[in-house]
Amino acid sequence: MPLKQPESMDECVYFTQRSLDSGKGSVKVWVFRQTCPKCKKAIMGKPRDSKGKVKTRANEYVCPSCGHSVEKKAYEESLTANAEYKCPGCGSAGEAQIPYKRKNIDGIPTLRFQCSKCHANIDVTKKMKERKGKGGDFDDDGD
């Protein structure tokens, strides 16, 4: 059964679409927001200020219907990440689901999926992060 695709970014906590290994493969990852575990009427979201603007750096998710709140880390770890990919190793296309919990791989928070055919690792890192020991080192010789 194919994975349900998001119709809007409002449905998602996380969404990314990237090419892998210089265009040999690609991955699209999305994580749907959950309904409130208490009232089961509304979808949980970040709190809003008095003007109705979403607080982007909030440390909790709040139900707009009943006001129930859950800590950000606990809420996000209860979600499921969905991926649609083309494996850069074997070229096969596939889908996968894993818990939405980033693991530290080479010092970078990463979502790691495995190709269903060749079992190669497909890593989705946080944007703008580089692996330790690769790039980012500056020569400080006083020039």
Report DSSP state, residue 134: S
**Structure confidence by residue, pLDDT tens digits, 26-37:** 999 999 999 988
SS percent in the chain: helix, strand, coil, step 5: 5, 40, 55
- Asked if residues 110 and 104 have their Cβ atoms less than 8 Å apart, the reply is yes
**Structure confidence by residue, pLDDT tens digits, 101-117:** 988 988 888 899 999 89
Q: Per-domain residue ranges for the chain?
A: 8-33+79-132, 34-78
Model confidence, pTM: 0.78
